[in-house]
Amino acid sequence: MTEKRIRFRDIKPYDIVDSLDDLRGPAHGVITPEDVRLKPIGRTAVDIDDDGDCLEMYREALTDCSADVIAQYVNKERLLELFPDLCLDDRVFDLWRGKFPEIATRGVSRDRAYPVIDPATGKETRTW
């Protein structure tokens, strides 16, 4: 008999804001987050204008922080712009897309798509 593997990420509770309008984080500039989880490894500051820095901070915020911290550091417009490229666990990704239609209509980056090989044809397709 095969046991289904349960991973922590499958049962971990995630927090989410009530409204995208609650997201009042900075839209531009360099910030020094108080929460250590939001700082890039080996650095103390986050450049919100740099997509890579911002994506990293937003991923950590949406995955590991409370709604209050998310609201403090995540900016609504920047999140809408970057959401298709965020590398999130499927549960977190689906939670945000399910609650906010504005995010769901943004589409998904091709980089986020998972490659799937069709056994009948051997061709690669992408699925979300």
Domain chopping of the chain, boundaries: 8-127
Q: What pLDDT, on the 0 to 100 scale, is given for residue 10?
A: 77
Q: How many CA within 13 A on the CB side of residue 32?
A: 3
Residue 48 has φ and ψ, to the nearest 5°, of -65, -30
* Among 35-39, 40-44, 61-65, 117-121, the least confident range: 117-121
Looking at the chain, the whole-number percentage of residues with pLDDT higher than 70 is: 81
Mean pLDDT of 34-40: 83
Structural contact between residues 25 and 74, judged by C-beta atoms closer than 8 angstroms: yes
Helix-helix angle 51-64:90-99, to 10 degrees: 90
Q: What is the pLDDT of residue 117?
A: 54
Min mean pLDDT across 48-57, 61-70, 97-106 is at 97-106
Write down the pLDDT at residue 115.
Answer: 47
